[in-house]
Amino acid sequence: MANCFRPQVLASFAVMALLSAAAMAVPAHGQMQAPMQNQTQGAAAHPLPWAYAVFDPVPPAPIPDDPTLQHISGSDQGFTMKQLRDTGNPADWFPGDHPPMPTIVAHRRSPGMNPWIGSCGLCHYPNGRGRPENAGVAGLPVGYIMEQLADFKNGARKTADPGKKNTAVMTGNATGITDEEAMAAAQYFASIKMPQWIKVVETETVPKVRNSGGFFVPVEGSEMEPIGNRILEMPVDPEATETYRNPRSGWIAYVPMGSVKKGEELVLRGGGGKTVACAACHGQDLKGNGNFPPLAGRSPSYFARQLYDIQHYTRNGPGTQLMRPVVQNLNEDDILAITAYLASLQP
């Protein structure tokens, strides 16, 4: 794989890694998990619990073999609930939204083959928009995608929270993928434009939530609580995301009051020398510059994990070596503010 996975020196913010958390366990329809406040007791063991969103896996309940086709608004496709839970062949509600998928994006390899490799489209969606527990990969440069796969494969890219198990799964995928599959996936996702996918809302209070397989959804009822010092990223329509895996149903990122303005100062002007203005590498509009990845309008939970991982030497590689001095003086409040601001921008 050395021919395709040549390390490329990217002075990258390195906050947009490909497939960083592929292989999310898909919760069964109707399966409830404990509210967030119960899951994060003793959270000192988990850095930035709102960003890593570590959860205790629960075996999915059996899906009845019901032949009834399910439908969602705007799609002419129909799938049974069993098909919607098929982790080997992710449902594609909107095949017209993207080019024809390479085989590795559309299907996993047979479990009988060695190694077992998951399909990229399962976690990152066929349109590449992804979700907070993994990564939005649409519109990333081909060279950057290839470098991230190389970093996963070579052990240069890990996680500061070992409880985030899908990072290890991604390492297995990157290790087993062929040169041809890697390039096909990289070219495919790079060709898809990332739309406005996240709406940032500054607020003092948020709904109480539960962890749904690595992202948060509101608990039943209308209870609210202070947002505190966190970003709470959740689906606009939890049922569309949880039950139907609608790849057009976007996200809301609730952020503390004033965090976007504070992040703007850090991102655009370096916060009085605390860091370096991001536009130096990522372009004036933060939409990417050559092989430097775009930052605008991407998941704040994902951004925060990458900044923290770089700081704590669990994410390494050519690009991150140059990025580390940029993030070394940031505290957790700074990371929150930076990611809130970046997520608020138009992709």
Tens of pLDDT along the chain (347 residues)?
Answer: 333 333 333 333 333 333 333 333 333 333 333 344 333 333 347 899 999 999 988 777 788 889 999 999 999 999 999 999 998 999 999 999 999 999 999 999 866 666 678 899 999 999 999 999 999 999 999 999 999 999 999 999 999 999 999 999 899 999 999 999 999 999 999 999 999 999 999 999 999 999 999 999 999 888 999 999 999 999 999 999 999 999 999 999 999 999 999 999 999 999 999 999 999 999 989 999 999 999 999 999 999 999 999 999 999 988 888 899 999 999 999 999 999 999 999 99
Is 279 among the domain residues? Answer: yes
At 152, phi and psi to the nearest 5?
-60, -50
pLDDT at 223: 92
> Burial level of 24, CB count in 10 A (0-12/13-18/19+)?
buried
Is 122 among the domain residues? Answer: no
Is 64 among the domain residues? Answer: no
SS3 category, 207? strand
Is 62 among the domain residues? Answer: no
At 144, phi and psi to the nearest 5?
-65, -45
Is 175 among the domain residues? Answer: no
Is 312 among the domain residues? Answer: yes
Is 226 among the domain residues? Answer: yes
Measured CA angle at 76 (ends 75, 81), to 5 deg:
80
278-284 contacts at long range (C-beta below 8 A, 24 or more positions apart):
278/13, 278/342, 281/11, 281/12, 281/13, 282/12, 282/13
Is 75 among the domain residues? Answer: no
Residue in the block written with tokens 């190694």: 115
CATH for 321: 1.10.760.10
Q: How many domains does the chain have?
A: 1
pTM of the predicted model, to two decimals?
0.86
Domain that holds residue 326: 198-344
